[in-house]
A and B are shown apart, each in its own frame.
Chain A
């Protein structure tokens, strides 16, 4: 039998590493351009820095749908009829490393690289 003390040390190590990685992931630099995928297909790309007026659009998947709200600098799933509502609970997405995912409707909103991004870095 392995002593409880050793288990505590092993678990604490995993805990520390995963906590550190989580913090790093959520503080990674943000990108301006986000892409919306449904079922693995690219639906549209939006440059969040160029959104003038807030607008919404619907993404249908089978019988269900996700309603997406776009504002300047941020995007979110404002309504969905999926079972877990994980995508709605995510709240606003600002282009970070952790994508918005709606697993039941196979919807993904994630930041993507664009040539415009490099241009912004040079001028800005």
Chain B
């Protein structure tokens, strides 16, 4: 069981890293600093709901650390870390209140939290309070992208639990519902 879990975490980390790096190559025509699709959050959400919160944190930190060392910058690391951690904490709190069919809600609030974390990091780094004015735009984009990535994670969790029943996925919540 333990080996399976390590292998699963490794695969998910590799997946998150690939998505993270591919996403950086996709330019978004929105002139607001920090707006992105947040596709790698799909993997974090998946790990949170299908494996465990600890595994999700592990995958998230590894992705932020390795991803920014190989394909980012020091400032990128600060923003990813600030946004990612706030996003994780929010998702962890919501995780207790949500079923597998409400994962998209987690995606929405996670994306909002990511935007808020990034804005605070940006204001801290550049010492420009005017950046706060982008907060409503970031929240708006976060709701849209978060609903998309959250739904993606939701479909993956529900389908993959059925297709790969031998993997160390947690199925506590489903049992409770049934």
Contact = CB atoms under 8 A, between A and B. Distances in A.
Interface in A11-51: 11, 14-15, 17-19, 21-22, 25, 37, 40
A6 B163 CA distance: 31
Nearest to A11: B108
Interface residues of B, number: 36
B112 interface: yes
B18 interface: no
B80 to A, nearest CB: 12
B158 interface: no
Main secondary structure of the interface of B (DSSP, over half): helix
Contact of B136 (A22, A101, A110): A22
A103 B97 CA distance: 36
Given A86-B31, A89-B31, A101-B33, A11 B79 contact: no
A53 to B, nearest CB: 26
Contacts of B31: 86, 89-91
Given A99-B131, A101-B122, A14 B73 contact: no
A25 B133 contact: yes
B59 interface: no
Main secondary structure of the interface of A (DSSP, over half): mixed
Interface of B: 24, 27, 29-34, 72-73, 75-76, 79, 97-99, 101-102, 105, 108, 112, 122, 125-128, 130-131, 133-134, 136-137, 139-140, 143, 147
A78 interface: no
User: Closest 6 interchain pairs by CB?
Assistant: A21-B136, A90-B31, A18-B136, A18-B139, A40-B127, A7-B105
B147 to A, nearest CB: 8
B79 A103 contact: yes
